[in-house]
């Protein structure tokens, strides 16, 4: 047990991190599809088979990168959210939205890895579920705070019983937030990732040039729609 924290264990941890760092760089430079165990091994200065002492397969390495990416967006969103006063809902939303977009622009391949097309032949294991949820919890907490503070109004929605059940299940992570508010929040959410993807994947090319202004304008609009314009 003590040995687990001995030299061998420390070297192992360092090398694991080094492999990940190289893999991260390859991902950033070439994208997930071009990520190869052999190339990573070469850059680490190992023979390719040695990597198998650290990661059981290419998929496992990919999983590690996916978890990292989800954690990074989550962290960015949490930090941004925490940078505003708790009762400044609009400010928190805008800060969070900008932080997520900022992270995406700074790390386009990592963004594409988790929010773009699924990697062919790769099935996300259970390990990615919690990290994936992290960023969404920031939004849900925003809704919780807004409802608790009484600044977020419910609205009537008409929909299926099945969707009511879905929303009730989601409410476990957003206690007290009524369906109408949840639906507005989800709408903002899909808009946000839609906007970022649309921009990042080139669909605004030759249409919009002032990307930042366009995003800010739309993010503010979205904030008003979710939070109510009386803020």
Partner DNA sequence: TGTACATCAGTGAACGCGCGTTCACTGATGTAC
Nearer CB in complex with DNA: 53/203: 53
C-alpha torsion angle, residues 132, 134, 135, 137 (rounded to 10): 130
Phi, psi values for residue 93, rounded to 5°: -60, -50
Smallest separation, CB 25 to DNA (Å):
14
**The two structure tokens encoding residue 87:** 């009762």
Nearer CB in complex with DNA: 54/93: 54
If one asks whether residue 31 binds DNA (CB under 7 A), the answer comes out as no
Choose among 136, 132, 152: nearest CA to 144: 152
If one asks whether residue 162 binds DNA (CB under 7 A), the answer comes out as no
Smallest separation, CB 34 to DNA (Å):
8
Smallest separation, CB 216 to DNA (Å):
40
d(CA 136, CA 190): 11
| Residues contacting residue 230 through CB under 8 Å, at least 6 positions apart | 151
| 112: partner contacted, choices DNA, a second copy, none (Cβ within 5-8 A by kind) | a second copy
Looking up tokens 């001995």 gives 6
Choose among 167, 73, 147, 84: nearest CA to 111: 73
Is residue 122 a contact partner of residue 60, using CB atoms and an 8 Å limit?
no
Which residues in 46-85 contact DNA (CB under 7 A)? 46-50, 52-54, 57-59
Smallest separation, CB 117 to a second copy (Å):
3
Nearer CB in complex with DNA: 85/120: 120
Site residues for a second copy per CB under 8 A: 30-31, 33-34, 112-113, 115-118, 120-121, 124, 129, 132, 157-160, 162-163, 165-166, 169-170, 183-184, 186-187, 189-195, 197-198, 201-203, 206-210, 213-214, 216-218, 221-222, 225
Q: Which of 27, 37, 114, 119 is close enough to bind DNA by CB under 7 A? A: 37
Choose among 41, 78, 62: nearest CA to 110: 62
């Amino acid at each position: 047990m003590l040995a687990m924290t001995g030299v061998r264990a420390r070297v192992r941890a360092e090398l694991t991190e080094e492999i990940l760092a190289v893999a991260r760089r390859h991902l950033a430079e070439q994208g997930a599809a071009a990520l190869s165990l052999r190339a990573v091994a070469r850059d680490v200065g190992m023979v390719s088979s040695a990597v198998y002492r650290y990661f059981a397969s290419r998929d496992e390495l990919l999983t590690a990168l996916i978890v990292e990416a989800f954690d990074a967006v989550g962290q960015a969103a949490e930090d941004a959210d925490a940078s505003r006063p708790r009762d400044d809902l609009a400010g928190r939303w805008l800060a969070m939205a900008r932080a997520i977009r900022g992270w995406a622009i700074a790390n386009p391949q990592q963004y594409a890895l988790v929010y773009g097309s699924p990697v062919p032949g790769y099935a996300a294991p259970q390990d990615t579920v919690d990290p994936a949820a992290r960023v969404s919890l920031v939004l849900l907490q925003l809704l919780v705070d807004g409802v608790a503070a009484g600044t977020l109004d419910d609205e009537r929605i008409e929909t299926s019983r099945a969707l009511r059940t879905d929303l009730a299940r989601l409410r476990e992570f957003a206690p007290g937030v009524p369906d109408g508010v949840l639906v507005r929040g989800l709408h903002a959410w899909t808009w946000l990732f839609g906007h970022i993807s649309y921009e990042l994947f080139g669909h605004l090319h030759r249409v919009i040039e002032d990307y930042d202004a366009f995003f800010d304008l739309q993010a503010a609009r979205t904030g008003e729609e979710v939070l109510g314009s009386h803020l």
